[in-house]
Structure 1
Amino acid sequence: MTRLAYFPAVYPGELLYSLLARYHQHTGVPSSIHTMEALYGQRLVVASLDLPGHLGALADHLPAGAGWTALRIANELTLLHYYTAFQPAAVRRHACGAMLQGQTDGLMMRLGMATFRAGRVTTLRFCASCLRQMHGEYEEYYWRRDHQLPGVLVCPDHGCPLQASAVSLTERGRHIYVPADGQTCPMSAPVVVGTQKDEVLADLQRLAVASRALLEDPGTARPLNGWTTQYRQELQRAGLAYSARRIDQRRLVERFRHHHRSVLGQLPGLMTGKHFSGDWLAAMVRKSRGAFHPLQHVLLRDFLDHQDTRAGLFGEGPWPCVNPLAQHVGKEVISTVALHRNHGHHVGVFKCDCGYVYTRSYLEGSGTAGTPRFQAYGPLLASALSDMIMCGNSLRATAKHLQLDPKTVVKLAGDLAIDTPWKRRAEVKQQGPLRPRMATNLRQRRPAKSGSRSRQPSNWPERDRQVSRQVLRAANEIRRQEPPVRVCALQIERRTWNRGWLNKRASKLPKAMRCLRAVAESVPQFQRRRIGWVIHQMDLASESLRIWRILRKAGLRSQHAELVATLLAEHLESNRKLMA
């Protein structure tokens, strides 16, 4: 294998495409085919802008003292870090390996980027101010990596709009490297952003700097659901979530649009009219089912960075652990707090690594945090509770040591299957003979008042028929209710009698109980009825009948997606027959 005798020095922030274009220009080789053969050892290599392939072969042909390995080329001269910044570690390794080996066909699709309209840059861009600096320092121009990122419309350094060069990758040959010079980068070239407002340019520059940061340091790889979890936690701290699992989508969209009001119309592929293309903002904070474009991550992270977080409700972390059994009791070792709302007020859940969990409520009226309330003890409780019982400690002494209510101690001991003397004494007390005074009182009967009517025995067969009719009437009323409510014994009793009324008289009302079993719905039956109602209501409102939307409105999880698809198909087929 023949190594190159000459290879140009790499300029700051230069793109590999630019470096190879300058090599072709410096060597003066008339044919790009010969340049490809000298660089890669083969003629038909695609001159890719963002994710080039055959980097292993290129590194093998570079001069021995150049110090450029294939991995270093991929990390420092391409856009690999940008497109894989929010991908799992396995996907990062796969993408890098594909570039080193030359298997880049369909790589964008494998990364999940091909479905986004915020796609690849096909016309090279430049900054006029940067070109003047390049010419002053190096006496030639070059293409910068950060100028070719999707969504970067202004120069991260100067804040001025980027300009579209005369180099279009879709109009030129696939195997040609075109250098930056006075002809390809004329100062009269059109700008890629349609505004000169300082406010808009400042916002675009902030996003450009954030996009460039991904090239320099993409951060630690994490699974796709890891990003969803982080965004949900930050939205919760920003007061944009009902709980750890429910996001206030309406307020999120309103505040997101207001924060990015100056740039959403300038960035390509994000909006369809006044709506987000593909509803990507809502999808990013739901259960993750795939990758999202780095530009969308940049926008959401920028939005979250500018929100007032609610973590300050309980002060700035870390927070103390109040486990009386831990050696670190009272020390600030809890680094995170989970927030949710309960009956209109915020609740913070503090979980220590020792397993102890406690909660605190934020009292909005006084602006203070409530006292810690025990929620879970963790693995330290079992051994400590057993030791205190063996030492003969009383229930109150044990409760005082554990800083719990005595009844809570008895319950925890039962959950841990620990035999306690307090429980045994309670059982003996309950099974013992009645005290003389109590027995006397129970034997005594108050004489009936004179003139009072004696209680007549109930006619249970007639009562059974009446209750059956009441059950049917209540079931029909429940079925007519909107939104749908499940027909069950509890709902029927609430409408007609008190809770538990039927079950207490089940042996005397056999016909009513058979009627109840006939009209009651199982959970799957109610889910089917509710899904059908949701589909019908959405169709009447001309809403998009997407499966995830139906699941959300019906209050179901993704495991019911197949059922929703079946009922949706039946609904569409029924509509088609009616239209025929």
Structure 2
Amino acid sequence: MKGHTEFQYATMMASQAIREKILKMMLTSHADRKFVVPLRFWGLKGERTTTLRYCEGCLAEWIENQQVPYWRIDHQLAGVYCCVKHACILKSVSKVRSRCYFDQTILRLINDSDERVIKKIVSSGKKAIEDIAKRSAHQQTGGGIGKSTNVYRDMFKEAGFVRAGSQIKHLAVISAWSNYFGQEYCHLTNMTAGRISKLLDRLSEISERFECSHPFMFIAGESFLAHHLESSGAYLPRIGCRALAFAAGREVVAPVLAAFSCNGALHRSADVLEFVQSQGDRWKLVCTCGVSYGMRKAARIDATQFVPVSYEARYRKQFRALIANGVNASCAARELRLAINTANRWAYRERVGDIEALSEREVRKLRSTWRQLVKNAPPERRITGATEANPAVFKELLKNDWDWFCAFNRSQRSPSRTKGLVRLKEPTADQILEAWRGLKSADPPIMVSRSAILERSGFPRIFNRKRPFEAILAELVERRPAYLERVISWLANLASGQRQVDYDEAIQNAGLRRSSFSKEQRERIREIELMSSVEGCSDRECELRADHFI
């Protein structure tokens, strides 16, 4: 039940007690077949792709191996538009399911006219979609209970999306979210600005967990935060892909490993080599002595392609000991078989050579000065601005307090300067549409002008009219004659509500005066006032008013 159904995925955000209760009810036969908690894992509210999805690579493999094709559960999960095994975009069936067949098999429904779920995709967007597929499949096969809201809040804070008052920066998150997933994927999954903002509002609440909420937005949030935490220099393990390509690559490299041995200076007989696959098409060998060897995947693999890329604690500790004993960086590099650049970098961090260490009091004073410089720097370029303001403090801390300096700068790094994160300089299409809907439904009416839309979107100071979003604004901006007609319709609705209305005050609340209307429009407003007064008067008064009009 847990490994071959959607149970683990659907109950990701449920507590352990609710999970056990649902599992017990699923295993028990009930006449009414009703659950205490409604589960919505097949359909995500607002998702544009509602038909069954399949992978051409999986289908070709099944046919080649003479296996009966079937619908993969992980391909039907919300927002999963990529095959984890083949890393290709899924296709959605265009053929309408027939009620004549109980078993809607793949071969019965697929057609040459089936199209890929996502038609246009860039490399950065594909990585995000692949990560969503991996995380969803991992959750469906063996995932446990999802993270609590406190963990999500800490991740947002570490990624630089939280203000000093512990408030999440909605605008920055929405912009970075859209840039990470891409407009088409956000459109297909209905990840609008309002929906993202609603998720952030829920994460800002005190509650620890939301009972059986749909897991898609939380999985997307984990992928988004993992990407930005990795970009800002933090370490987060990636969700592994148990694909056949990895197993096949491992078989190719296995003969080479038998002939390869670690040549680290501190390698011991008990140390062993472990084979791992890193990002993209790169392979890596990690020795327990602390040396990691990188290798690029190629058609022909041999031992000469292994190159040391990093050294761990054992080598760093021995390097420190050699430096403390008076050995210079070059000699220490030869003894430990390190690259000279690595040795120089370590020596620089250890404050060796001609650098004279400052006293603890002086370091504390430099720290305080740097904190104040960063605080006074522009928010969009904190570290750069502080460096330009006082380069001397920057250099002294870099030489004398490397660890604290790097950790502090990473925590204060501006989101706009983070790799992969683009500062929001203009509203997105979703933000513009959301602002337009809000202005259209406002009571009293507000004219849907360019400045009103931008101000409601949070961008009141954009004066350049050559931006890409201006084409959308041109279609949505309301002309003055149309706005005057909308105000007259609003006044008529007020009159039909049989309320006592001060029409002069109502017109003023709409930002207009009677003189703003044409002569014909003013006549219509007077008729609306008379109709309102007739509806609100007694029968005798109505007869007198009718005689007056006659």
Highest RCO, 1 vs 2 (Cα 8 Å, sep ≥ 6): 2
TM-score relative to the length of structure 2: 0.39
Q: State which structure, 1 or 2, has the greater radius of gyration over its C-alpha atoms.
A: 1
* TM-score (structure 1 length as normaliser): 0.37
